[in-house]
Amino acid sequence: MTAAGTPPIVFVHGTRFSAGQWSPQLAALRKEFPVAAVDLPGHGARSAEPWGLAAATEVIASAVDSLHGGPALVVGHSLGGYASLEFARRRPERLRGLVLAGASASTRGPWAAPYRWVAGLVPRLLADRLARWNDRLLHRLYPSDVVEATIRSGYAFHTLPAAWGEVLGRFDAEAMRDVAAPVLLLNGEKDTVFRSGERDFARAHPRARVELIPRAGHLANFDDPDAFTDAVRRFARELPVRG
């Protein structure tokens, strides 16, 4: 049973994944906090819906409202982190805290060019082949209980060009100035690309701090589920209590 005043937590998945990405965190946190994980437009159960950042923020808002204890702590990974930044800008009254995981790199400037190239290449590859490759990779790198829900939910390769097409060129550290709530930049120590702007992101917000998951990469919540979950738990407990 969750304690009165504890913040609801909404988890927002990364590129090509779904709500299943957060199965380890949901299982570990649900006794203490009201928790939910969303499928963004074009992903998981919303696979047939068109991608859009505006639509993504409404999905997050609906999840916050469904937990009946908002405003909420929103935890976003990679693509989901940038969608969560957009949510923070559009719906600040629904946000009690923000965790950006693998989403503290500027999406502006020349570094984005390779990602545009990948986004353009993916539709030319067979989805079944990409899915088999992802299944093998996840099974090789992680325990089944960590990744099985992700594998079972499938992958949203068809949405990747539209999603990153909208995100690239849109976000940098200045986006942190639109966040009214406390922020935790939670990155894998070895995620050199997506933590490349973490110092700038942290400096742009008066209540932001950085925490690293040792030896973890971009999928830090898979690399060390316990450490990732513990960081989210500690941050949630630190947030101001609201009635």
pTM, 2 dp: 0.94
Neighbours of 74 (CB within 10 A): 32
- pLDDT given at position 212: 98
- pLDDT given at position 59: 98
42: which residues sit within 8 A by CB, 6+ positions away? 49, 50, 51, 156, 158, 159, 162, 163
pLDDT in 10s for each residue of the chain, 243 residues: 566 679 999 999 999 999 999 999 999 999 999 999 999 999 999 999 999 999 999 999 999 999 987 799 999 999 999 999 999 999 999 999 999 999 999 998 766 655 665 555 555 555 788 889 999 999 999 999 999 999 999 999 889 889 988 999 899 999 999 999 999 999 999 999 899 999 999 999 999 999 999 999 999 999 999 999 999 999 999 998 764
- Residue 204 CA to residue 159 CA, distance in Å, equals 31
- pLDDT given at position 238: 96
The SS3 assignment for 199 reads: helix
- pLDDT given at position 69: 74
The SS3 assignment for 152 reads: helix
Q: Please tell me what DSSP assigns to residue 234.
A: H
Residue recorded with tokens 């829900």: 149
The SS3 assignment for 168 reads: coil
- In total, the chain counts a number of residues equal to 243
Angle, nearest 10°, between helix axes 144-153 and 127-141? 170
CB 19 within 8 Å of CB 39: yes
- pLDDT given at position 4: 62
